[in-house]
Amino acid sequence: MSRPTAPKTSFLATLMDIPRNVWSSIFRNPLPSNDLERSATSFTNFFLHIHPVKVHKNSLRPAYTFGLGLISFFLFVILIVSGILLMFYYVPSTTQAYDRMLDLRGSVAFGTLLRNMHRWAAHGMVAVVFLHLCRVFLTGSYKKPREFNWVVGVILFLLTLFMSFTGYLLPWDQLAFWAITVGTAIAGYAPVIGKDIQFLLMGGTSVGQEALLRFYVLHVAVLPAILTLMIAIHFWRIRKDGGLSRPEDADPKVTLEPMETSSAPKASVLEPKKVYGFQGLVRGPLTKVGQIPDNTVFSWPNLFLAELFTFVVTLSAILILSLLFNAPLEEPVNALHPPNPAKAPWYFLGLQEMVSYSAFWGGIGVPGIFVLLLLGTPYLDRGPKGVGKWFSRDRLLANTIFITFVVANIIFVIIGTFFRGANWAFVTPW
């Protein structure tokens, strides 16, 4: 790129060079054409330096990750951008919120589209984060050394649900009001602190102005801040834990043979030597120099193109959904007459169905046990086998328990969605 030219000192030449100089001052590297420049791309660019210079081929297999973690992140980005834009027109007031929803529809440029995008990306994020959790579980990726990152991931899943829950109230329509009335009442069944949590969430004894303001602050400030921090930790730990999980045989074992010695072996030579790789302080495979087949490829362009592709597909899907389907908006809040049946969002319908049998066990007991089991999984299931493979037979028990919980919840969601009519009576949808 840097062609040696005779130094020109004329002012005109300086002016002429400004665009090129500005460009090269921003982007340190030209588009890479050799391996050195390819590595430099990864660690000299602020946005790319979170990536490793080289990435394992296994991490790039689409059928291994399905890109679910990345899709979750991109949906979060879409949610932040569309959410900030919506904030310009939203007022968290019981007298204005619903009218503002109608204004978005009627008198704001791109208002409907942005609200649709925000709604569908939110639904999508709940679904994709859950699928990502399933992927990580079913490939055994929570095992050592990734235990804590799994815990961070479970917390991220719960935060995503809470994000969705707090956002649900903001349109201040019938669906919002009664879903939150029911949701906060479920929290009230938690032992000891339940009533206090309910009171703190609602800022009073019923869902009203105070609750709307509280949910708004949680939704646009508190939870996004926590979520962003946790995502940063989540990503950072992926690198520190040695990249994405992969099967044991993906990295051929490096056998370090003792150095040949001319003299007779002494006792010290027979003792196992401590060997450090170049990345001795980072847990993970030793640095391999020319000894064994290299299973990594450069992040530029392999990983970055895959990420760009994922982003384009995610954004296109949300855009197409938003152009085809409008986010629902029900009647304005009528605190006196709940709709019949009053249903929560689909991802809480399994919960609502269980709650219809027992408020404590359905709303607190069973979900609490499930979450505790999820959090404890990497500390209970310590076997090193079955990492990096879908449905590994070495992890039959863990996978069976997990799939049982997931399928049970899906069945409850389906019952709650299609088989419950007025007064939550059992109906058939046909």
Cis peptide before 272 (omega within 30 of 0): no
Any contact of residue 93 with another protein (CB under 8 A)?
no
| CA nearest to 54, candidates 286, 268, 275, 301 | 301
Any contact of residue 121 with another protein (CB under 8 A)?
no
For residues 227 and 109, give the distance between their C-alpha atoms in angstroms, rounded to a whole number: 29
For the bound state, the minimum distance from the C-beta of residue 220 to another protein, rounded and expressed in Å, comes to 16
For residues 356 and 347, give the distance between their C-alpha atoms in angstroms, rounded to a whole number: 15
Any contact of residue 301 with another protein (CB under 8 A)?
no
Any contact of residue 424 with another protein (CB under 8 A)?
yes
Any contact of residue 359 with another protein (CB under 8 A)?
yes
Considering only 39-47, 146-154, 243-251, 353-361, which stretch makes contact with another protein by CB under 8 A? 353-361
344 CB-near residues (< 8 Å, 6+ apart): 179, 182, 183, 351, 352
Any contact of residue 21 with another protein (CB under 8 A)?
no
Contact by Cβ (8 Å): 72, 129? yes
Residue selected from 145, 194, 203, 365 as contacting another protein according to rule CB under 8 A: 203
For the bound state, the minimum distance from the C-beta of residue 347 to another protein, rounded and expressed in Å, comes to 17
Subset of residues 243 to 262 that bind another protein, contact rule: CB under 8 A: none
| CA nearest to 179, candidates 309, 347, 14, 23 | 347
CB count within 10 Å of CB 100 equals: 20
Residue selected from 278, 309, 357, 391 as contacting another protein according to rule CB under 8 A: 357
Residue selected from 192, 259, 336, 380 as contacting another protein according to rule CB under 8 A: 336
Going by the DSSP 8-state scheme, the letter that residue 392 receives in this structure is -
For the bound state, the minimum distance from the C-beta of residue 422 to another protein, rounded and expressed in Å, comes to 7
Q: DSSP letters along 330-373, please?
A: -SBP-TT---SS----HHHHHHHHHHTT-HHIIIIIHHHHHHHH
Residue selected from 74, 90, 168, 178 as contacting another protein according to rule CB under 8 A: 178
Which CB sits closer to another protein, 208 or 242? Answer: 208
Strand residues in 122-204 grouped as ranges (E)? none
For residues 224 and 218, give the distance between their C-alpha atoms in angstroms, rounded to a whole number: 8
Three-class SS state of 64: helix
Residue selected from 145, 284, 341, 365 as contacting another protein according to rule CB under 8 A: 341
Any contact of residue 194 with another protein (CB under 8 A)?
no
Residue selected from 182, 306, 349, 364 as contacting another protein according to rule CB under 8 A: 182
For the bound state, the minimum distance from the C-beta of residue 338 to another protein, rounded and expressed in Å, comes to 5
Residues of this chain that interact with another protein (CB under 8 A) are: 178, 181-182, 184-186, 196, 199-200, 203-206, 208-210, 214, 335-342, 352, 355-359, 362-363, 422-425
